[in-house]
Structure 1
Amino acid sequence: MKPINHREGIIQPAGSDWQTFRNILCVRPDNLGDVLMTTPAFRALKESVPDRKLTLLTSSAGAGIARLIPEIDDVLTFDLPWVQTASGNGPAAIPILARTLQEKQFDAAVIFNVQSQNPLPSALLCYLAGIPRMLGFCRENPYQLMTDWVPDPEILVATQHEVERQLALVSTVGCTTSNKRLSLTVSSEARQQALTQLAQAGIRADAPWLLLHPGVSEAKRRYPADQYIRAARQLIAKDGFQLVLTGSASERDYAETIRQALGEKAFNAAGRFSLETFAGLIAEAPLLISNNTGPVHMASAVGTPVVVLYAMTNPQHTPWLVPNRVLYFEVPAELRSRNRLLQQFPEPAEPRASPEAIVQAVNELIQTKKAVLDHSTV
């Protein structure tokens, strides 16, 4: 398939005419949390040009949450082979996708990628689709493959939060926003449905309760179950919390293993909520305890305090603009990335995770939240 309709000659400086572009493709082909952390950049693109339309090309993992993001007008779902969420799409599917993109007649594309990902495969896809302008970070000069190339400032390890990285990218073409919060629409119906399902499971919303999300897609980011159990037993016995275990349907058995070790004040809700109702559950929860995974960023978007057990992998995905405690733990040697650059986690990674640190973090955040609520009612 030949690339079409591309400008020839010298690459134009970024931002020279982006204010005229109304139909933009945003390429963010990875996970739910990555999509959420890009929402301030989406907002900057929308706010900077009236009536601009944003279409998001994302993975099946990211598509569900994308439909709850008000800045996104349309969603295209495809699991691309150059990201971790890749599925069984064969090489013949790529030219078909390029033709689909071509038919949308995009004015430009913005390629959003984490520091450790190579943007050039996504740029090539957009090039084949005939999208005339492309913005993205890149380490090496992509020449005519990416018209609006921004040299990537993060070469060896990530040096800024993912939200700041993507805001910095779109700012190079004159797109900014004063609102840097993550964006997620949670309906009152979703909140009520979540509370109804909790009540049906026997959870008393008028008594202390917490969410515990012990699963994660990558084993290297999973805090050990026995450590979660030790922390949860203290939270139940000493502080009287009810624990609601959440996760995907595939994680239900794993959550059940933890629940059985905790007794009658723990409830296994893994796989029982739609994504929209799960967002309502997080929005209503007093606090979330989780591995470094998508629900942490959902909590950030809706303002729910979070204790995150953070594997020492990518350092730029901590909770954003929400009360939080980050507790770090080392990835077992056998699970560490093949990319040795990703093993250079910045030090000091403190405080370190432990059951006692989890309990302390929960109580600190709950007390802080209670003090704020008490002050607001004075």
Structure 2
Amino acid sequence: MKHPLPAQPAHIGILRLSALGDVCNLVPTVRALQRQWPNARITWIIGKAEHSLLAGLSGVEFVVYDKATGLAGMRELWRQLAPTRFDVLLHMQQALRASVLLMGLNSAVRVGYDKARAKDWQHWFTHRQLAVHARAHVLESFMDFARLLGVADTRLEWDLPIPATARAEARRLSGEGGYLVISPCANPRLRNFRNWSAQGYATLIEHVWTQHGLKSVLTGGGSAQEREMGERIRQLAAAESVIDAIGASSLKGLLALIDQARLAIAPDSGPVHMANALGTPTVGLYATTNPDRAAPYGWRDYVVDRYPDAVRRYLHKDPETLPWGQRVRHPDAMALIRAEDVIARVDQVLALPRPNPTLEPRDEV
């Protein structure tokens, strides 16, 4: 017998710890739930960095779990939430660690992904699963949780909070005049292979400076890989055309930088989804991940897409035959992206009236 779903949930729990781009893609689902049940309490269990990005999101209580604390942190979170019983708990993190965390929480019904989308045996830990939605974008997969609960109004809204201190930080970093934001590196994980070349970025920076009069602000974390990339780009680009802010901004400061930028450019990583959430024109650079699944949602038509080429060259397969979401883990895949292709996309997007994203949900086929 299926566990019944609540018709009028008083307390909705959300378990999604990471990552920065994913939590941005989840916010429209939260807004849809709030429109459907404006008096419902929503508690979101979230990662530490992700919380620093979304802190202050209206109508949401955050409970922070730092995965670096391991089992001790899990037990502390269980103690913290011991008095809480969720009417429904949405398990949106496809990872075994999150499923173990889930089992210490009290809820009437746990909802997770359908078997096709579940990873690490997630469907074993939930009472109800989503309806099958083949080839769904990540944002649509999150919205499927709201649809299962009976939400019909799936308009996309974010309204991310940006404090005045973050805006002041952005002004200090960007200086005067118009600019675009370039976040050249994805998360420096093992075998991530999502980064484009320093020379490619330098060529692009020179173009937008000479043809559009826009400086480029480089952003990113403080890892050695990111700082090295920033240094290589600065050496190749004209000094007056680039501002290296890698490792210099908070996540809220990065939001503010992106919010005021003419354009954001990055590989498959948090900043393209942050830009999408803010309505900032966005050009994503994709070769190792499938943009049909993970591109900035409102700017899918403006992605530089070399994923099919990478699949054929490095996996020796037809992209249509691959499991949905399979990555091309090859260090040369992003080299398939040519500077002239990126420049053409950037010129195209800069010619658009702002904003012009496609924010209405569209069916995936």
TM-score band, normalised by shorter chain = 0.7 to 0.9
On the 8 A contact 2:16/2:45 being kept in 1, the answer is yes
Pair 1:364–1:124, CA change in 2 (3 A)? same
| Aligned pair partner of 2:234 in 259, 263, 266 | 259
Displacement after TM superposition at 1:366 (Å): 1.1
- Classify the secondary structure of the residue corresponding to 2:42: strand
**Which stretch shows the higher mean deviation, 312-321 or 286-295?**
312-321
Change (3 A) 1:74 1:184: same
Map 1:296-375 → 2, pairs under 5 A? 296-315=272-291, 316-322=293-299, 325-329=302-306, 330=310, 341=323, 342-343=325-326, 353-369=337-353
Q: CA deviation at 1:176?
A: 3.9
The answer to whether the 8 A contact 2:173-2:245 is kept is no
Give distance in 1, aligned partners of 2:157 and 2:52: 20
Aligned counterpart for 2:257 among listed residues 277, 281, 285: 281
The corresponding residue for 1:53 is 41
| Paired residue type of 2:90 | V
Change (3 A) 1:228 1:77: same
Determine the structure 2 residue equivalent to 1:216: 186
Is contact 1:25-1:56 (8 Å) kept?
A: yes
Distance change (3 Å), C-alpha of 1:301 and 1:90: closer
How far did 1:192 drift?
4.3
- 1:243 corresponds to which of 212, 216, 221: 216
1:41 correspondence with 2:29: yes
Contact 2:113-2:122 at 8 Å conserved across structures: no
Give the RMSD, CA atoms, in angstroms.
3.1
Question: What stretches of structure 2 of length at least 5 have no aligned partner?
Answer: 316-321, 329-335, 357-365
Which residue in the other structure is 2:64 paired with?
Answer: 76
Q: Post-superposition shift, 1:92? A: 4.8
Q: Deviations over 1:296-338 (max 9, x none)?
A: 111111111011111332441211235862012438969xxxx
1:39-90 deviations in whole A, cap 9, x for unaligned? 11111222222321212112223221221432422232232xxxxxxx4x44
Residue 179 of structure 1: how far off its partner (Å): 2.5
State whether structure 2 residue 92 is matched by structure 1 residue 112.
yes
CA separation of 1:320/1:61 partners in 2, compared to 1, >3 Å: closer, same or farther? same
Residue 244 of structure 1: how far off its partner (Å): 1.3
Give the letter for the 1:343 counterpart.
Answer: Q
Q: Tell me if structure 1 keeps the 8 A contact 2:259–2:275.
A: yes
Take 1:163 and 1:307, find their aligned partners in 2: how far apart are those partners? Answer: 17
Contact 1:222/1:311, CA 8 A, preserved across alignment: no
TM-score, normalisation: structure 2: 0.79
The answer to whether the 8 A contact 1:282-1:304 is kept is yes
Does structure 2 conserve the Cα–Cα contact (< 8 Å) formed by 1:248 and 1:271? yes
Q: Is the 8 A contact 2:287 2:337 kept in 1?
A: no
Task: Kindly indicate whether the alpha-carbon contact (under 8 Å) linking 2:268 and 2:289 is maintained by their aligned counterparts in 1.
Answer: no
Distance 1:309 1:47, change over 3 A: same
Provide the residue aligned with 1:5 in structure 2. Answer: none
Kindly indicate whether the alpha-carbon contact (under 8 Å) linking 2:196 and 2:267 is maintained by their aligned counterparts in 1. yes
Give the structure with the higher percent helix.
2
- Is 1:97–2:74 an aligned residue pair? no
Identity %: 25
Q: 324-333 or 22-31, which moves further after superposition?
A: 324-333
Gaps of 5+ in 1: 1-9, 80-86, 335-339, 346-351, 373-378
